[in-house]
Homo-oligomer: A and B are copies of this chain.
Amino acid sequence: MQKYVYFFGGGKAEGKGDMKDTLGGKGAGLAEMTNAGLPVPPGFTISTEVCRIFYENKGKLGSDIQKQVDEALARLESVTEQKLGSTERPLLVSVRSGAKFSMPGMMDTILNLGLNDTTVKALAKRTGNERFAWDSYRRFIQMYGNVVLQIEKREFDEIFDHIKEKAGAKLDTEIPVLSLQELVKQYKALVKERTKTDFPEDPRQQFQGAINAVFGSWRNPRAIHYRRMNKISEELGTAVNVQTMVFGNMGNTSGTGVGFTRNPSTGEREFYGEFLINAQGEDVVAGIRTPTPIRELDRVMPECYRQLREITDRLERHYRDMQDFEFTIQENRLYMLQTRNGKRTGKAAVKIAADMVKEGLITPEEAVMRVEPLQLDQLLHPILDPKAKTKELAQGLPASPGAVSGRIVFSAEDAVAQAKQGRVVLVRKETVPDDIHGMEVAVGILTSRGGMTSHAAVVARGMGKCCVVGAEAIKIDERNKLLMAGNKQLREGDWITLEGSSGKIFEGQVATVEPDPASGDFAAFMGMADQIRRLGIRANADIPRDAEVARKFGAEGIGLCRTEHMFFAEDRLPHVQKMILANTEPERREHLNKLLPFQRADFEGLFRAMDGLPVTIRLLDPPLHEFLPKREELMVEIAVLRAKNGAPSQIAEKEKLLQRVETLHEFNPMLGHRGCRLGITYPEISEMQCRAIFEAACKLQKEGRTVKPEIMIPLVGLPKEFEEQKAIVDRVAEEVFTQTGAKVEYTVGTMIELPRAVVVADKIAESAEFFSFGTNDLTQTTFGFSRDDAGKIIVDYMAKGILKADPFQELDRDGVGVLVRMGIEKGRSTRSNLKIGICGEHGGDPSSIEFCDEVGLDYVSCSPYRVPIARLAAAQCVVARKSAAERGRTV
């Protein structure tokens, strides 16, 4: 018969610490501690498998399981020499949830189970502490009433407060026995009134009800929500832990507390936590009494303190990780109720991992697994001062981390004008490419539309600038320069604060603290990751400033330089526009010639910043109409001019411009005249860009720098497109080499960002020297999702369980991933040493990085501030794969 119930107690447990799948985290910890000989109150764990059966059988356990539970209970009675409902030695137990992954506060707990009008007297008699007995009883009714019988906690609280007041008690501990007895009476009356039945006096019935309630709490709304947020599978289920009660509320020689073996906030190696004398665990959490720092325990109960230090030290060494523990002291006797690996801040995680390696406690491989890559973000950006008071306005999507305060502006122009006077936050419905200059001067960006990969989000991450997008609860009236959130209205110039890592938006100015990314611990930790990882890490950077940041953060090259960002700069845009509006090739060339010096200077800066490292430069990609005024705005302008009898010459001029804009207008620009299609229609644009690249490279080389340009042709779908553009690159390179007398090694490769490119990757690789997967566009075309439009659909799909994750954030392995694999396989079938990278947003996402490592990419490229995250994620997947392989061998 399958085993469903695992006993622990009397120095031995049927379970083990590595049985989290079956016993949940808490159950596994209790078993492990019991086996280690620690003072753990005996009990048993009903496995997570039972939770699944519970739901399959619509709330019934079945006779097999019931039998095992009954046997375990009998054994517990025997070990403790107590009996449920006994009028002499009544057994009291706690019934708690405990899933594989900690879900703090999400599921239900019942303490003191077994008390009724009879056993409470036995308890009073046995302990000689009537007050304690009745206090425990009223707590039990309250908890059971709330959790099992679904009566609102508020209703119990009202009765409690009333009686406490009547008794004139300041503290809960001051409520006299008689009042507690009155409380029990009134609680029971409440139960009777609400449920139309008496409170269950039969401890067996209490026991059954509690187990069902705990299993039932697995699917309460807040637990479901928590799992969805934390990507915990619905299938896991919770275990139920039944454990003999020990009491911290038996007077001043009793107490209860929680603690950490190291400081979970800073990572310092210090004993950290707090406790309460004469209290049960819930009091510490509830915050009614202020707990005492744990060092004080040394003064109050030195022996218990010494024992606790000794035990927790052992636990940390045993688990080889910082522990988060719970304990209870019952009449000077210490009991351990829980231990688990403690949650910690990014800063603490890095310090603890680095320290534990120094202490010889863990290996570097283990150390790199101890930090969630995304936690590093906290070390790289300013954060809100945890002590600051905040007034939250709304919540958007956490598009780019950091925390900033600034005065609101509603347009790029206003941003530029007012940034001179001080920090501004640019607030827009959505941003467009010509907002770039405003985004550059703003300290943060807030949009009410768009998803995690909208224009604002992508550009802000690239700039390492705090950004919150898609805050749909906010209404933005750009015309009247108003921001509405609920009934609040903010105007231009008002202060606002953004927290990019949570997506929260606050009213006014909130203090921030600047962390120190260059600390010794951080550097030591990242060094370990670098030793382990196989994947190269590059950055997406378009300007020298970003390149320098990237290099500082450890980038080993630039994986994507988007040359169009250079076209949007204020001093260039007029030339770009004239070039686009030109009617003939010579005219276009004339304006391109004016752009050439700018582009050359851009590349010089980049090459200088990345001296010795490769720089991948993508030729012009976006559709040309992005550089022109918006069609609908022109239409409105003309209509208004007409309505107001404007000057005919002015109207005619605008109409001419509109005509050209109309010619370039596209219904689906994402699928239009962009990428290499531009370079094929206007070879002179590619020529100018290549000339700028090679002239810059030759100049730098003459200065003694090492320049490694890699020229990348975007949006290739047909092998001939690539060949045609490569011919231009090679021709211009030769021309520049001849003119300058220098010669620079370079390669020409392509983005693989269309399904067709994947399908013909073997043909493309005949002439392409490298591939870079543009997984943003590849995700768009594979799914048929426009990044700019699909945000709401994706949110809806995730809520409905149709999508597990946003495919623009986490590479969709089952769909896009299959195409990526196919592209790699086909590409390398032609050119076995083909260098392959990825430069979409996924390059900075840990789960996607794992995939990139698995499929054998050479490098990932991400925004500069993501580089450390990518370095760590790349190391983690090496370790994970190694462990999996080792597990495979031992099985």
A contacts, CB < 8 Å to B: 631-632, 635-636, 639-640, 642-644, 666-673, 675, 677, 680-681, 715, 717-718, 720-721, 724, 753-756, 759-760, 777, 780-786, 788-790, 792-793, 796-797, 800-803, 812, 814-816, 818-819
Q: Which of A631, A677, A753 has the most CB of B within 10 A?
A: A677
| A673 proximity list for chain B (CB < 8 A) | 789-790, 792-793
Other 19 A-B pairs with CB < 8 A, given A635-B635, A677-B793, A715-B784? A636-B639, A666-B788, A667-B789, A668-B786, A668-B789, A670-B786, A671-B790, A672-B789, A672-B790, A673-B789, A680-B802, A717-B784, A717-B815, A754-B782, A756-B812, A756-B816, A759-B782, A759-B815, A759-B819
The complex places the Cα of A814 from the Cα of B640 at a distance, in Å, of 51
The complex places the Cα of A131 from the Cα of B33 at a distance, in Å, of 125
The complex places the Cα of A680 from the Cα of B797 at a distance, in Å, of 9
The complex places the Cα of A793 from the Cα of B682 at a distance, in Å, of 12
B721 touches A681 (CB 8 A): no
A793 touches B681 (CB 8 A): yes
| A669 proximity list for chain B (CB < 8 A) | 667-668, 789
B671 touches A785 (CB 8 A): yes
| A797 proximity list for chain B (CB < 8 A) | 680, 718
Choice from B636, B667, B675, B783 contacting A788 with Cβ under 8 Å: B667
A800 touches B668 (CB 8 A): no
| A796 proximity list for chain B (CB < 8 A) | 680-681
B793 touches A724 (CB 8 A): no
Shortest CB-to-CB span from A471 to chain B, Å, is 15
Choice from B667, B753, B782, B788 contacting A670 with Cβ under 8 Å: B667
Shortest CB-to-CB span from A482 to chain B, Å, is 15
The complex places the Cα of A666 from the Cα of B788 at a distance, in Å, of 8
| A724 proximity list for chain B (CB < 8 A) | 800, 802
With A680-B802, A777-B784, A815-B756 as given contacts, are A671 and B789 in contact (CB-CB < 8 Å)? Answer: yes
- Nearest to A667 among chain B residues (CB) is B788
Shortest CB-to-CB span from A764 to chain B, Å, is 11
| A802 proximity list for chain B (CB < 8 A) | 680, 718, 720-721, 724
- Nearest to A802 among chain B residues (CB) is B720
Chain A interface helix/strand/loop/mixed: helix
Shortest CB-to-CB span from A70 to chain B, Å, is 42
- Nearest to A784 among chain B residues (CB) is B754
Choice from B639, B668, B760 contacting A639 with Cβ under 8 Å: B639
| A677 proximity list for chain B (CB < 8 A) | 793
B718 touches A803 (CB 8 A): yes
| A667 proximity list for chain B (CB < 8 A) | 669-670, 786, 788-789
The complex places the Cα of A670 from the Cα of B783 at a distance, in Å, of 11
The complex places the Cα of A642 from the Cα of B796 at a distance, in Å, of 37
Shortest CB-to-CB span from A829 to chain B, Å, is 14
The complex places the Cα of A639 from the Cα of B637 at a distance, in Å, of 8
The complex places the Cα of A800 from the Cα of B682 at a distance, in Å, of 13
Shortest CB-to-CB span from A668 to chain B, Å, is 4
- Nearest to A636 among chain B residues (CB) is B639
Shortest CB-to-CB span from A429 to chain B, Å, is 9
B786 touches A671 (CB 8 A): yes
With A635-B636, A670-B667, A789-B671 as given contacts, are A755 and B782 in contact (CB-CB < 8 Å)? Answer: yes
The complex places the Cα of A789 from the Cα of B670 at a distance, in Å, of 10
Q: Which of A642, A720, A777 has the most CB of B within 10 A?
A: A720
What are 6 A-B contacts with C-beta separation under 8 Å? Answer: A670-B786, A680-B797, A717-B815, A718-B802, A754-B784, A756-B783
Shortest CB-to-CB span from A653 to chain B, Å, is 18
7 nearest A-B residue pairs (beta carbon):
A671-B786, A668-B786, A632-B632, A643-B643, A756-B815, A755-B755, A666-B789
Shortest CB-to-CB span from A633 to chain B, Å, is 8
Q: Which of A680, A715, A789, A801 has the most CB of B within 10 A?
A: A789
Shortest CB-to-CB span from A823 to chain B, Å, is 12
B815 touches A760 (CB 8 A): yes
| A792 proximity list for chain B (CB < 8 A) | 673
The complex places the Cα of A777 from the Cα of B667 at a distance, in Å, of 14
The complex places the Cα of A37 from the Cα of B724 at a distance, in Å, of 53
The complex places the Cα of A709 from the Cα of B369 at a distance, in Å, of 56
| A790 proximity list for chain B (CB < 8 A) | 671-673
- Nearest to A637 among chain B residues (CB) is B639
Shortest CB-to-CB span from A587 to chain B, Å, is 19
B814 touches A759 (CB 8 A): yes
| A819 proximity list for chain B (CB < 8 A) | 755, 759
